[in-house]
Protein backbone atom coordinates (compact mmCIF):
# COMPACT_ATOMS: atom_id res chain seq x y z
CA UNK A 1 0.00 0.00 0.00
CA UNK A 2 1.21 3.50 -0.85
CA UNK A 3 0.43 5.79 2.12
CA UNK A 4 0.69 9.36 3.35
CA UNK A 5 -0.74 11.53 6.12
CA UNK A 6 -2.37 14.89 5.68
CA UNK A 7 -5.26 17.29 6.12
CA UNK A 8 -8.46 17.25 4.14
CA UNK A 9 -10.12 20.43 2.87
CA UNK A 10 -13.70 21.42 3.70
CA UNK A 11 -16.21 21.48 0.83
CA UNK A 12 -16.46 25.29 0.63
CA UNK A 13 -12.67 25.68 0.32
CA UNK A 14 -12.52 22.92 -2.30
CA UNK A 15 -15.31 24.64 -4.25
CA UNK A 16 -13.37 27.92 -4.26
CA UNK A 17 -10.22 26.17 -5.44
CA UNK A 18 -12.22 24.38 -8.12
CA UNK A 19 -13.31 27.82 -9.45
CA UNK A 20 -9.66 28.92 -9.43
CA UNK A 21 -8.59 25.80 -11.34
CA UNK A 22 -11.35 26.28 -13.93
CA UNK A 23 -10.05 29.80 -14.53
CA UNK A 24 -6.37 28.81 -14.77
CA UNK A 25 -6.61 25.45 -16.59
CA UNK A 26 -7.04 26.86 -20.11
CA UNK A 27 -3.81 28.85 -19.74
CA UNK A 28 -1.35 25.93 -19.52
CA UNK A 29 -1.10 22.38 -20.79
CA UNK A 30 0.07 20.81 -17.55
CA UNK A 31 -1.27 17.99 -15.39
CA UNK A 32 -3.90 19.69 -13.21
CA UNK A 33 -4.95 18.12 -9.92
CA UNK A 34 -8.60 17.12 -9.64
CA UNK A 35 -10.24 19.30 -6.96
CA UNK A 36 -11.34 16.20 -5.01
CA UNK A 37 -7.66 15.20 -4.65
CA UNK A 38 -6.51 18.48 -3.08
CA UNK A 39 -5.06 17.91 0.38
CA UNK A 40 -2.17 19.08 2.57
CA UNK A 41 0.42 16.33 2.97
CA UNK A 42 2.15 16.19 6.35
CA UNK A 43 4.18 13.00 5.72
CA UNK A 44 4.72 10.84 2.65
CA UNK A 45 5.13 7.28 3.92
CA UNK A 46 5.39 5.43 0.64
CA UNK A 47 4.94 1.67 0.33
CA UNK A 48 3.82 -0.02 3.55
CA UNK A 49 2.79 -3.67 4.06
CA UNK A 50 -0.93 -4.09 4.63
CA UNK A 51 -0.30 -6.63 7.41
CA UNK A 52 1.45 -3.85 9.41
CA UNK A 53 -1.31 -1.27 8.96
CA UNK A 54 -2.50 -1.65 12.58
CA UNK A 55 1.01 -0.97 13.86
CA UNK A 56 1.20 2.22 11.77
CA UNK A 57 -2.26 3.38 12.90
CA UNK A 58 -1.27 2.84 16.54
CA UNK A 59 1.97 4.81 16.12
CA UNK A 60 0.12 7.71 14.50
CA UNK A 61 -2.67 7.57 17.10
CA UNK A 62 -0.09 7.85 19.88
CA UNK A 63 1.02 11.28 18.67
CA UNK A 64 -0.07 13.64 21.43
CA UNK A 65 -3.34 15.48 20.88
CA UNK A 66 -3.01 19.05 19.80
CA UNK A 67 -5.22 22.03 19.19
CA UNK A 68 -6.92 22.30 15.84
CA UNK A 69 -4.82 24.50 13.56
CA UNK A 70 -6.30 27.43 11.68
CA UNK A 71 -5.33 26.92 8.03
CA UNK A 72 -5.08 29.78 5.52
CA UNK A 73 -4.60 29.07 1.82
CA UNK A 74 -2.86 31.92 0.06
CA UNK A 75 -0.37 32.71 -2.67
CA UNK A 76 0.75 30.50 -5.52
CA UNK A 77 4.19 29.47 -6.69
CA UNK A 78 6.38 26.89 -8.35
CA UNK A 79 8.66 24.15 -6.96
CA UNK A 80 11.58 23.94 -7.13
CA UNK A 81 11.68 27.42 -8.68
CA UNK A 82 9.85 29.55 -11.29
CA UNK A 83 12.55 28.96 -13.95
CA UNK A 84 12.42 25.14 -13.99
CA UNK A 85 9.06 24.37 -12.37
CA UNK A 86 7.84 20.84 -11.64
CA UNK A 87 4.94 21.71 -9.30
CA UNK A 88 2.45 24.60 -9.32
CA UNK A 89 1.15 25.11 -5.78
CA UNK A 90 -0.96 27.14 -3.35
CA UNK A 91 0.73 28.11 -0.11
CA UNK A 92 -0.48 27.05 3.33
CA UNK A 93 -0.13 28.98 6.56
CA UNK A 94 -1.07 26.92 9.58
CA UNK A 95 0.58 27.47 12.97
CA UNK A 96 1.31 24.09 14.55
CA UNK A 97 1.27 22.12 11.30
CA UNK A 98 5.08 21.90 11.09
CA UNK A 99 5.11 20.41 14.59
CA UNK A 100 2.53 17.80 13.54
CA UNK A 101 4.68 16.94 10.51
CA UNK A 102 7.79 16.62 12.70
CA UNK A 103 5.98 14.43 15.24
CA UNK A 104 4.62 12.25 12.42
CA UNK A 105 8.11 11.96 10.95
CA UNK A 106 9.46 10.90 14.37
CA UNK A 107 6.67 8.36 14.99
CA UNK A 108 7.05 6.77 11.57
CA UNK A 109 10.88 6.75 11.79
CA UNK A 110 10.55 4.47 14.85
CA UNK A 111 8.77 2.01 12.52
CA UNK A 112 11.62 2.14 9.99
CA UNK A 113 10.13 4.69 7.59
CA UNK A 114 12.71 7.08 6.16
CA UNK A 115 12.84 10.53 7.72
CA UNK A 116 12.11 13.55 5.58
CA UNK A 117 15.27 15.01 4.09
CA UNK A 118 13.69 18.32 3.06
CA UNK A 119 12.23 21.03 5.27
CA UNK A 120 8.46 20.84 5.70
CA UNK A 121 6.78 23.14 3.17
CA UNK A 122 2.98 22.86 3.45
CA UNK A 123 1.19 23.40 0.14
CA UNK A 124 -1.58 22.21 -2.13
CA UNK A 125 -0.35 20.74 -5.40
CA UNK A 126 -2.51 22.42 -8.05
CA UNK A 127 -0.64 20.88 -10.99
CA UNK A 128 2.41 18.87 -11.97
CA UNK A 129 4.60 20.07 -14.81
CA UNK A 130 6.12 17.07 -16.58
CA UNK A 131 7.44 18.81 -19.71
CA UNK A 132 8.67 22.32 -20.46
CA UNK A 133 5.88 24.48 -21.79
CA UNK A 134 4.95 28.13 -22.12
CA UNK A 135 3.74 29.22 -18.68
CA UNK A 136 3.48 32.91 -19.52
CA UNK A 137 -0.32 32.76 -20.06
CA UNK A 138 -0.63 31.09 -16.62
CA UNK A 139 1.53 33.79 -15.04
CA UNK A 140 -0.64 36.49 -16.68
CA UNK A 141 -3.83 34.82 -15.44
CA UNK A 142 -2.39 34.72 -11.91
CA UNK A 143 -1.45 38.42 -12.13
CA UNK A 144 -5.06 39.20 -13.16
CA UNK A 145 -6.59 37.49 -10.09
CA UNK A 146 -8.43 39.81 -7.71
CA UNK A 147 -6.85 38.12 -4.70
CA UNK A 148 -4.32 35.48 -3.76
CA UNK A 149 -6.37 34.50 -0.70
CA UNK A 150 -8.12 31.19 -1.42
CA UNK A 151 -9.85 30.35 1.84
CA UNK A 152 -9.32 29.51 5.48
CA UNK A 153 -10.66 26.90 7.88
CA UNK A 154 -10.07 25.24 11.22
CA UNK A 155 -8.90 21.68 10.66
CA UNK A 156 -10.96 19.14 12.59
CA UNK A 157 -8.68 16.12 12.04
CA UNK A 158 -5.75 14.73 10.12
CA UNK A 159 -5.81 11.45 8.23
CA UNK A 160 -3.86 8.43 7.08
CA UNK A 161 -4.51 8.06 3.35
CA UNK A 162 -3.96 5.30 0.84
CA UNK A 163 -2.96 6.45 -2.64
CA UNK A 164 -3.94 4.08 -5.44
CA UNK A 165 -2.43 4.85 -8.83
CA UNK A 166 -5.00 4.56 -11.64
CA UNK A 167 -4.73 5.35 -15.36
CA UNK A 168 -6.67 8.62 -14.87
CA UNK A 169 -4.64 9.65 -11.81
CA UNK A 170 -4.36 8.80 -8.15
CA UNK A 171 -7.35 7.90 -6.00
CA UNK A 172 -7.08 8.73 -2.29
CA UNK A 173 -8.85 6.73 0.41
CA UNK A 174 -8.92 7.66 4.09
CA UNK A 175 -7.82 4.73 6.25
CA UNK A 176 -7.73 6.41 9.68
CA UNK A 177 -8.79 9.70 11.26
CA UNK A 178 -6.96 11.47 14.09
CA UNK A 179 -9.07 14.31 15.58
CA UNK A 180 -7.63 17.58 16.80
CA UNK A 181 -8.59 18.95 20.20
CA UNK A 182 -11.01 21.89 20.11
CA UNK A 183 -9.56 24.97 21.81
Q: For position 51, which CATH number holds?
A: 3.90.1140.10
Helices (H), 32-135: 53-61, 97-109
Each residue's pLDDT, cut to its tens digit, for the chain (183 residues) gives 999 999 999 999 999 999 999 999 999 999 999 999 999 999 999 999 999 999 999 999 999 789 999 999 999 999 998 888 999 999 999 999 999 999 999 999 999 999 999 999 999 999 999 998 899 999 999 999 999 999 999 999 999 999 998 887 789 999 999 999 876
Q: How many domains does the chain have?
A: 1
Phi–psi pair at 36, nearest 5 degrees: -70, -15
Range of the domain at 12: 2-179
> For residue 85, how many C-alpha atoms fall within 13 Å in the half-sphere facing its CB?
21
Q: Where are the beta strands (DSSP E) in the chain?
A: 2-7, 31-32, 40-47, 70-79, 87-93, 123-128, 149-154, 157-166, 169-179
**Mind telling me the catalytic residues?**
39, 123
Sign of CA dihedral 103, 109, 114, 115: positive
Amino acid sequence: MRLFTGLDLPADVTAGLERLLRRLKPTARIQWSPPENLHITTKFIGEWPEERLGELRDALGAIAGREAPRVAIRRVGFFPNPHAPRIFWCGIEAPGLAELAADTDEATARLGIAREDRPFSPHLTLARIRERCDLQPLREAIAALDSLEFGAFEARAWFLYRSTLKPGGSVYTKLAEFPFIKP
